[in-house]
A and B are shown apart, each in its own frame.
Chain A
Amino acid sequence: MKQANPKQVVALRWLIFSLVLFGLGSMSRAMLAGRPAKKEAGLNKVQQQNPKVDKQADRILKQMSDNLTAMQQFSYTSTGNFEVLDKNNKKQKQNYRAQVFVKRPNKMRVNVKNENRDASVFYDGSKFTVLGRNANMYAQADAPPTLDAALDSAREKFLMDPPGSDILYSDPYTGLMELVTQGQLLKDENINGKACHHLAFKSQDVDWEMWVQKGNTALPLRYKIISKNEPGKPEFTVDFSDWKQGSGPEFADQQFTFVPPANARKIPFMRLGDAPKVSQR
């Protein structure tokens, strides 16, 4: 075998050196651009593709949102049902009925009932309390200082993620429209005798519809969500009724502060990590 030409060896050395430079360069560029950017690009891919939202649908939703934002003290009844899959993958409907009282920016109370549950939730701006009325037990935790943050916190810490809460945020429009890819205005419909705009939206993981009362009081009267990527594509539908704005005694500050009923027992919240794998129901 022949010896390598020294020139070639030098050339190879330069080649490797430039490869190293190139590698370092591209790496530092990747670092500067940051991985988060890459990830978010994936996350917001759909959003960036110019969502096709009908202008009227967008306007009506915005109007509804502005209307809700402007309401400082209000109450409504929420009657909903959602589908769950049982052990045999059959869809079952679960119903609930809740009375919601909101006092912006940092108070809320909810009385919620379903088949076997009668509970109340209190948020007074500093504490978050859930009272199980049948068992006469309650759990209490410190809460963030705004309703928006308290709703987020309830979801993250205590697995409470009522889908209807989308309309409780201080800016429902922004929350609802995130990740929306399509939106359109369908034919008008009547909900409980009231004429409504019927809006339909699509996003990456859910399709949802909103029925907004026509006229000056652009309030949501029905909200439907289909989790299309979940097994069985379960639906959630809620009717909002008895919308009231007010300043009556039921909106007094102390109405939002929890006072334990006689003999009520304080128990801990079950946290995310505590949830057992098996249920016996």
Chain B
Amino acid sequence: MKKLTIKQVKKYAGLVAAFFLSLLATEEILAQFISNGAARANVRGTSRRTARRVNRRHDYFYGGRYGGGYYAAPVGAAAAGVATAAVLTSLPGGCSPYHNYYNCNGTYYAPQMQGTEVVYILVDADD
């Protein structure tokens, strides 16, 4: 049997490699859609129920909370301009109501219901 030239081997090797790379790429792109669909389907599925009993740190009904730290979700963290501000379970002294806020010596807090607890969230002065 005659052997191929190095050039030809390289050419075919390159083709094969490119083919597999394109396979990978396609799969990745497809995975985007498919796994999103799966995630959506799961919301009403098993994971939902399991989460009910497991992720205790998410429970604000009876006041469950780990390590004094609040659970912060990455999604929409900047919503309502409260971002990662401090949160108080009661207001300091010397506060007066101001529209939807409390003015505590120039620092403004907005009351919100976290689970079954009223908390006060520091509002950025610009808001």
Interface residues of B in 6-56 (CB under 8 A from A): 6, 8, 12, 15-16, 19-20, 23, 26-27, 30-31, 34-35, 37-38, 41-43, 45-56
Cα A274 to Cα B119 in complex, Å, equals 12
Instruction: Please tell me if A98 contacts chain B, counting CB pairs below 8 Å.
Output: yes
Given contacts A27-B23, A114-B63, is CB(A279)–CB(B69) below 8 Å? Answer: yes
Q: Among the listed A16, A206, A208, A267, which residue makes an inter-chain contact with B112, where contact means beta carbons less than 8 Å apart?
A: A267
Instruction: Please tell me if B113 contacts chain A, counting CB pairs below 8 Å.
Output: yes
Interface size on A, residues (CB 8 A): 89
Instruction: Please tell me if A70 contacts chain B, counting CB pairs below 8 Å.
Output: no
Q: Among the listed A2, A152, A203, A281, which residue makes an inter-chain contact with B68, where contact means beta carbons less than 8 Å apart?
A: A281
Q: Is the CB of B113 within 8 A of A130?
A: yes
A-side residues, CB < 8 A to B, are 1-5, 8-9, 12, 16, 19-20, 23, 27, 30-31, 34-36, 39-40, 43-44, 47, 80, 82, 84-87, 89, 94, 96, 98, 112, 114, 116-117, 119, 121, 130, 132, 134-135, 137-139, 152, 154-156, 158-163, 165-166, 175, 178-179, 203-206, 208, 225, 227, 229-231, 234, 236, 265, 267-281
Cα A276 to Cα B109 in complex, Å, equals 13
Cα A275 to Cα B19 in complex, Å, equals 47
What residues of B have a CB within 8 angstroms of the CB of A280 in the complex? Answer: 86-88
Given contacts A163-B59, A273-B76, is CB(A5)–CB(B2) below 8 Å? Answer: yes
Given contacts A82-B64, A159-B60, is CB(A276)–CB(B53) below 8 Å? Answer: no
Q: Is the CB of A161 within 8 A of B59?
A: yes
Cα A72 to Cα B42 in complex, Å, equals 30
Shortest distance between the CB of B82 and any CB in chain A (Å): 6
Q: Is the CB of A9 within 8 A of B87?
A: no
Instruction: Please tell me if B72 contacts chain A, counting CB pairs below 8 Å.
Output: yes
Q: Is the CB of B23 within 8 A of A205?
A: no
Q: Among the listed B2, B5, B47, B89, which residue makes an inter-chain contact with A281, where contact means beta carbons less than 8 Å apart?
A: B89
A9, A139, A281 — which one has the most chain B CB atoms within 10 A of its CB?
A: A281
Q: Among the listed A35, A117, A231, which residue makes an inter-chain contact with B116, where contact means beta carbons less than 8 Å apart?
A: A117
A47 to B, closest residue via Cβ:
B46
Cα A265 to Cα B100 in complex, Å, equals 10
Q: Among the listed B4, B60, B65, which residue makes an inter-chain contact with A84, where contact means beta carbons less than 8 Å apart?
A: B65
Interface of B is mostly: mixed
Inter-chain CB contacts under 8 Å: number = 247
Shortest distance between the CB of A29 and any CB in chain B (Å): 12
12 contacts between A and B (CB under 8 A): A3-B5, A8-B2, A16-B12, A40-B38, A84-B66, A117-B63, A159-B114, A163-B52, A267-B111, A270-B113, A276-B82, A276-B87
B60, B70, B84, B116 — which one has the most chain A CB atoms within 10 A of its CB?
A: B116
What residues of B have a CB within 8 angstroms of the CB of A236 in the complex? Answer: 56
Q: Is the CB of B54 within 8 A of A274?
A: no
Instruction: Please tell me if B79 contacts chain A, counting CB pairs below 8 Å.
Output: yes
Cα A8 to Cα B54 in complex, Å, equals 61
Cα A154 to Cα B4 in complex, Å, equals 69
What residues of A have a CB within 8 angstroms of the CB of B66 in the complex? Answer: 84-85, 231
Given contacts A35-B35, A160-B60, is CB(A138)–CB(B113) below 8 Å? Answer: yes
Cα A61 to Cα B65 in complex, Å, equals 30
Instruction: Please tell me if B71 contacts chain A, counting CB pairs below 8 Å.
Output: yes
Q: Among the listed B34, B50, B80, B116, which residue makes an inter-chain contact with A36, where contact means beta carbons less than 8 Å apart?
A: B34
Cα A158 to Cα B55 in complex, Å, equals 14
Q: Is the CB of A121 within 8 A of B116?
A: yes
Given contacts A19-B16, A274-B82, A277-B84, is CB(A269)–CB(B113) below 8 Å? Answer: yes
Cα A133 to Cα B1 in complex, Å, equals 91
Instruction: Please tell me if B67 contacts chain A, counting CB pairs below 8 Å.
Output: yes
